[in-house]
Amino acid sequence: MNRRQLLASLGISGLALSLKGRSQTIASLTKPVNKPIVLSTWYNQSKTANVPAWKILSEGGTALDAVEAGVQVSENDPENCCVGLGANPDREGIVTLDACIMDHKYQIGSVAALEQIKSPIHVARLVMEKTPHVMLVGAGAQQFAVQNGMELQGLELSFHAKRAYEEWLRKSEYKPVMNIEKGHGPYIAPGDEANEFNHDTIGMIAMDKNGNLSGACTTSGMGFKMRGRIGDSPIIGAGLYVDNEVGAATATGQGEEVIRICGSFLVVEFMRQGMSPEQACKKAVERIKKNTPKDANTIQVGFIAINKKGEYGGYALHRNFDYGVTDGNGDTKKIDSKFMMQ
Ligand code: SD4
């Protein structure tokens, strides 16, 4: 392959090359894009959730199919404290689920406060693909799910959620202390490993072999939240954002603070300005810290992001945020996120 053919195969014309600035070396322009690739929040979930996502990507499937299948692993796990029907309930003892999905064509779908449906991410995808709307909540979202063939289930709390809820009821105190210290959250039933973490939303972002980006985010929200409370996870621009020209980002942690700064949208916009994924996530975390100087001591927020070159990064307010990245040979790497507050 000669130089012209090589550049054409990478989508770089001679004109683009001359306009892009003479200082860029051919070597940097020809660095292959790192794709396919998938990453997701909280390594203890990524190590299983990235597996079906990677299978789809490595077989040439779309990033959209990959992220949906990936996060469903967490939704289907009855021991997951914070995603799917096995998760911790709200203060009334009811599990309510939030999810959203976004593809490379700015298509979006979202559900919030959804009860008794196993896969909120699938309902979000159906909202995206089958309705003129982008978000359905509560009873309407449930009705739509049932109309689309999903069955109502999971009225009983899971074993772990029941224990955690009973423990929480003893004080009935809502203090959103996040899992900065593993095992030291206020809602953890003693010795209950499934509730070792008091949050574990899964946000997943991926790029497929065609270079298209998509993302998905699904959660039961903050354990023991007020009834009706919605966090960032089902809100496009807060818990998740994808711009196929720039990159994708997703968030986990205290949703109120992520909503306040339009967190995932902000990360993508910072990447648009030329920042690396890690720098962009860090800038967004700095914004949260600046706006909530007092709360920043007790809450956790983490972002992960990917750009169109397949570069990725993450950043958190506090320690103990990790994520899993699957690329190259299909191994999932554990990345301990950098963090701001020492
Ligand atoms: C929320 N962001 O509902 C979610 C909670 C979370 O890991 O991320 N938990 O605010």
CA of 24 to the centre of ligand 1 (A): 41
231 touches 95 (CB < 8 A): no
263 touches 284 (CB < 8 A): yes
Nearest Cα neighbor of 281 from 296, 295, 297, 265 is 265
Q: Per-residue pLDDT for 187 more than 50?
A: no
pLDDT tens-digit map of 322-341 = 999 999 999 999 999 999 98
Respond yes or no: is residue 250 known to be catalytic.
Answer: no
Q: How far apart are CA 51 and CA 326, in angstroms?
A: 8
Q: Are residues 300 and 334 in the same domain?
A: yes
253 touches 300 (CB < 8 A): yes
Q: Are residues 256 and 292 in the same domain?
A: yes
pLDDT tens-digit map of 79-129 = 898 999 999 999 999 999 999 999 999 999 999 999 999 999 999 999 999
Q: Are residues 52 and 143 in the same domain?
A: yes
Q: Are residues 23 and 72 in the same domain?
A: no
Q: Are residues 199 and 308 in the same domain?
A: yes
CA of 233 to the centre of ligand 1 (A): 6
What band does 6 get if pLDDT is binned at 50, 70 and 90? Answer: low
CA dihedral 233, 239, 243, 244 (to 10 degrees): -60
Boundaries of domain holding 123? 33-341
Q: Is 82 helix (H, G, I), strand (E, B) or coil?
A: coil
Q: Are residues 124 and 11 in the same domain?
A: no
87 touches 80 (CB < 8 A): yes
Q: What is the CATH number of the domain that holds 141?
A: 3.60.20.30
Q: Are residues 14 and 100 in the same domain?
A: no
Per the model's pLDDT, the better-predicted residue between 127 and 184 turns out to be 127
Nearest Cα neighbor of 99 from 243, 233, 215 is 233
Taking CA atoms only, the protein residue closest to ligand 1 atom 3 is 221
Best mutation site among 198, 232, 260 for ligand 1 pocket (most ligand atoms within 8 Å of CB) = 232
Mean pLDDT along residues 306-320: 96
326 touches 206 (CB < 8 A): no
44 to each of 85, 104, 203, 296, 325, how far by Cα in Å? 18, 27, 13, 24, 12
Best mutation site among 254, 257, 259, 317 for ligand 1 pocket (most ligand atoms within 8 Å of CB) = 254
Q: Which atom of ligand 1 is nearest to the CA of 254?
A: 10
Q: What is the pLDDT of residue 184?
A: 31
274 touches 297 (CB < 8 A): no
Q: Per-residue pLDDT for 234 more than 60?
A: yes
Q: Please name the residue that has the structure tokens 């720039």.
A: 246
Q: Are residues 251 and 300 in the same domain?
A: yes
Q: Per-residue pLDDT for 314 more than 80?
A: yes
Q: Are residues 222 and 286 in the same domain?
A: yes
Q: Are residues 19 and 121 in the same domain?
A: no
Of 4-8, 65-69, 161-165, 176-180, minimum mean pLDDT range: 4-8
Q: Are residues 73 and 20 in the same domain?
A: no
Which member of 62, 96, 201, 326 is catalytic?
Answer: 201
| Pocket (CB within 6 angstroms of ligand 1) | 82, 199-201, 219, 221-222, 231-233, 252-255
Q: Are residues 192 and 167 in the same domain?
A: yes
CA of 104 to the centre of ligand 1 (A): 24
Q: How far apart are CA 7 and CA 164, in angstroms?
A: 57
Q: How many domains does the chain have?
A: 2
Mean pLDDT along residues 149-168: 93
| DSSP 3-state percent helix, strand, coil across the chain (nearest 5) | 35, 20, 45
Q: Please name the residue that has the structure tokens 């807060």.
A: 238
DSSP assignment letter at 333: E
Q: How far apart are CA 257 and CA 172, in angstroms?
A: 23
Q: Per-residue pLDDT for 178 more than 90?
A: no
